[in-house]
Amino acid sequence: MPDTGPALDRRHFLGTASASAALAGSLATARAADAPARPAGGDDRPPVTNPRATSGDTKHGPKWEEMFTLTVGNDKGDLCGKDQRVIQAAVDTVARMGGGTVKLLPGTFRLRNAVHLCPNLRLVGSGPETILVKEPSVVSKLAADSDWYDQEITLADAKGFQVGDGICLRAKNPHHGGSTVIKRTLVARSGNRFKLDKGLRENLWGSGTPTASTLFPLLSGEFVTNLVIENLALDGNKANNDELDGNYAGCIFMQDCADVMIRKVIARDYRGDGISWQICHDVAVEECESRNHTGLGLHPGSGSQRPVMRGNTIVGCHIGLFFCWGVKYGLAEKNTIEDTKTAGISVGHRDTDNVIRGNTVKRSGQAGILFRAERGAGFTGDRNTVEGNTVVDTGGEGAAAVDVQGTTGGLVFRKNTLTETRGPAKRVGFRLGKDTKDITLDGNTVEGFSAKADDRRK
């Protein structure tokens, strides 16, 4: 089994789990626990001092002593099984109850489809001993055209496909030449002909060489709020799976979600991203490990507001921490990022007003911290603060520990330590592109480079 780093302390986990009270308070308790809760917006309305369960009020309510809980194990628990179906059954039962906890006991669960999460859910494992593994993928061409209104496909070779499998349909779009990517579940079968859980809404014609692959995220959330995932291990089994990029999948993939806590999760060996969230707000990823993915370690995706990424370890990914597109007002703090193929931390398309603080980045393949050029003025990652980070041994002989490209502006680099131990060669601490502007360098320590800064604005 691949190296998962230091094991989580089981006694610490049990203590944490016991102290984590009910699901309804799991995210709300980030506020001062004993202070009366005031309405959002900072107005002068009276504080809520005696909350009741009121229909439709998701902001304030009692802290219940007990919530609905189901235990799931391979051989013991309220529900028993060894694949995603037993976990999904527990999640669906919790959803019907309006929320609660699914407790996964130690064991290995082999997944042929994603576990689809629900609102008001706490999915908690038993530490590294709870392992969710993706089964090997298979792929087939489609043997017949399917139109956008169809809810079925015909495979050229159905070997390895089963009813219940999660699949990814990919093709060249016949109208504009771009890529079509559709995620579905196989729900019925006659020979090589399969019914899908939902209609296609895209044309899959032979001219676009369409394929079906058993590819999916291990944990998937869409339009989910108030979610906690903690204390479990996710194994993407990349040696036996094809690639599916982080806009669609990962060990954890979320789309259009809010108020999410991911804590003490080990995500490893996915042929794609580790943890990816798109248009998701107030997502916190804390004390997780994201290791050896072909894509991105942590991927706060398009339009995601106020993410918090704190105390994580990211190792051996293509990029460590990737701010994608319009990620704003976020905090990346005290993360350790090592041995990435390209950048340790990458910031770009309209990723503004973020704080990157106290991180350690070692042995990045190209740049320790990169601000991407993007499409020019108005598209770059402006007004970000980078302080107290440590960057060690970055890239090749002409690399920069911190590389600011394009028209990026409004950056503050304060009290960072950039170190090169392999010899200076042509390496520099800071590289500031000729069109960058309004960049503050304040109290940084730069050692072992041929030059502290390559300022091309002059």
CATH of the domain at 98: 2.160.20.10
- CB neighbour list of residue 1: distance below 8 Å, 6 or more residues apart: none
Got the DSSP string for 44-71?
-PPPB-S----TT--S-----S---EEE
> What confidence category does residue 61 fall into, taking pLDDT thresholds of 50, 70 and 90?
confident
121 shares a domain with 76: yes
313 shares a domain with 276: yes
Give the side-chain half-sphere CA count within 13 A for 92: 9
382 shares a domain with 439: yes
323 shares a domain with 206: no
238 shares a domain with 342: yes
- CB neighbour list of residue 454: distance below 8 Å, 6 or more residues apart: 400, 428, 430, 431, 432
pLDDT at 34 > cutoff 50: no
122 shares a domain with 151: no
Tokens (6 digits) for 245: 């990029």
204 shares a domain with 270: no
Task: Write the DSSP symbol of residue 28.
Answer: G
Q: How far is CA 349 from CA 203, 243, 276, in A?
A: 30, 24, 17
Higher pLDDT, 53 or 334: 334
> What confidence category does residue 42 fall into, taking pLDDT thresholds of 50, 70 and 90?
low
pLDDT at 348 > cutoff 50: yes
Cα–Cα distance, 348 to 322 (Å, whole number): 9
Question: Does a structural domain hold residue 5?
Answer: no
Neighbours of 115 (CB within 10 A): 25
pLDDT at 17 > cutoff 80: no
pLDDT at 7: 36
SS3 assignment, position 86: helix
Question: Does a structural domain hold residue 383?
Answer: yes
Which one-letter amino acid corresponds to residue 189? R
The residue from 195, 213, 231 where one domain ends is 213
Cα–Cα distance, 184 to 142 (Å, whole number): 15
CB 74 within 8 A of CB 105: yes
Of 195, 186, 141, 135, nearest to 165 by C-alpha is: 186
Cα–Cα distance, 400 to 388 (Å, whole number): 18
420 shares a domain with 273: yes
Degrees to nearest 5, angle at CA 403 with 405 and 440: 85
The pLDDT > 90 percentage for the chain reads 85
Degrees to nearest 5, angle at CA 212 with 207 and 215: 140
The residue from 178, 213, 248 where one domain ends is 213
Cα–Cα distance, 113 to 217 (Å, whole number): 8
Question: Does a structural domain hold residue 28?
Answer: no
CB 313 within 8 A of CB 333: no
Q: What is the CA radius of gyration of the chain?
A: 23
CB 28 within 8 A of CB 22: no
pLDDT at 177: 82
pLDDT at 30: 38
CB 386 within 8 A of CB 419: no
Task: Write the DSSP symbol of residue 94.
Answer: H
Question: Does a structural domain hold residue 188?
Answer: yes
pLDDT at 114 > cutoff 60: yes
Q: Which domain holds residue 372?
A: 67-133+216-455
Of 251, 239, 174, nearest to 206 by C-alpha is: 174
Question: Does a structural domain hold residue 4?
Answer: no
Which one-letter amino acid corresponds to residue 179? S
- pLDDT tens track for 314-327: 999 999 999 999 99
179 shares a domain with 82: no
Mean per-residue pLDDT, 421-433: 97
Question: Does a structural domain hold residue 60?
Answer: no
- pLDDT tens track for 184-210: 999 999 999 999 999 999 999 999 999
pLDDT at 284 > cutoff 60: yes
Question: Does a structural domain hold residue 318?
Answer: yes
CB 233 within 8 A of CB 243: no
200 shares a domain with 164: yes
pLDDT at 57: 86
Q: What is the mean pLDDT of the chain?
A: 91
249 shares a domain with 170: no
Q: Specify the number of domains making up the chain.
A: 2
Cα–Cα distance, 139 to 159 (Å, whole number): 9
The pLDDT > 70 percentage for the chain reads 91
- pLDDT tens track for 121-176: 999 999 999 999 999 999 999 999 999 999 999 999 999 999 999 999 999 988 88
The residue from 153, 185, 213 where one domain ends is 213
202 shares a domain with 340: no
Question: Does a structural domain hold residue 439?
Answer: yes
Residue 375 pairs in a beta bridge with none
pTM, to two decimals: 0.89
**Domain of 149: which CATH number?**
2.40.30
